[in-house]
Chain A
Amino acid sequence: NAGVTQTPKFQVLKTGQSMTLQCAQDMNHNSMYWYRQDPGMGLRLIYYSASEGTTDKGEVPNGYNVSRLNKREFSLRLESAAPSQTSVYFCASNSGGSLYYEQYFGPGTRLTVT
């Protein structure tokens, strides 16, 4: 049981390049989330998917797109990377049951845009 996995672990992009961050969970969870973490700003929600087939914007969706490919996988795409998107990106999942069920996090992707 691997939990939440993310690929790649590290990535360096040039401004204007595109890339997709991959996330998968093997816990049969309904809900999945993408966050970015920047120093002093805590965790900010980019997009989430409450269930398979649905996606919604979070606090900071500009410059990103997502795809909930199936119940297991939730990808985050940067179409034209900008230096402001340099960050650590975390994927998380939740069973979608009671409000006191916690989110489970992946190890993160460290992205640098030059």
Chain B
Amino acid sequence: AQSVTQLGSHVSVSEGALVLLRCNYSSSVPPYLFWYVQYPNQGLQLLLKYTSAATLVKGINGFEAEFKKSETSFHLTKPSAHMSDAAEYFCAVSLAGNNRKLIWGLGTSLAVNP
């Protein structure tokens, strides 16, 4: 069965510091992986996705993620945090089949301190 684990429900960084949000997946087939961001009182929007074309994926707002099959990980990073990055971040994996359901992690809340 496929599953997604996000380590750390709350992460706090200083403005300008490295952001690292962790996501590990479990899948019996090659996965398609997604990172979404949710700003306060808004819906979710796609940050980036892994489609097997490249292991290092660049997304919006300076975020990137690296797919590591040996570690079953897809961690999200940003070199320098900005106050506007404060949000909830969700990792998800696409479920095989023709219904296009996603399996979601529980989310990580990122706080950015001045």
Contacts and interface: CB of A to CB of B under 8 A. Distances in A.
B43 interface: yes
29 contacts: A4-B43, A42-B105, A42-B106, A43-B104, A45-B101, A48-B99, A50-B98, A50-B100, A56-B99, A92-B44, A96-B98, A99-B32, A99-B94, A99-B100, A100-B32, A100-B50, A100-B51, A100-B94, A101-B100, A102-B34, A102-B46, A103-B100, A103-B102, A105-B43, A105-B44, A106-B43, A107-B43, A108-B41, A108-B42
Closest 6 interchain pairs by CB?
A105-B43, A100-B51, A42-B106, A100-B32, A50-B99, A99-B94
A74 interface: no
Given A50-B99, A56-B99, A105-B45, 10 more contacts: A40-B9, A42-B90, A42-B107, A48-B101, A99-B96, A100-B32, A100-B51, A107-B42, A107-B43, A108-B42
B37 to A, nearest CB: 11
Interface of B: 9, 32, 34, 36, 41-46, 49-52, 90, 94, 96, 98-102, 104-107
Contacts of B96: 99
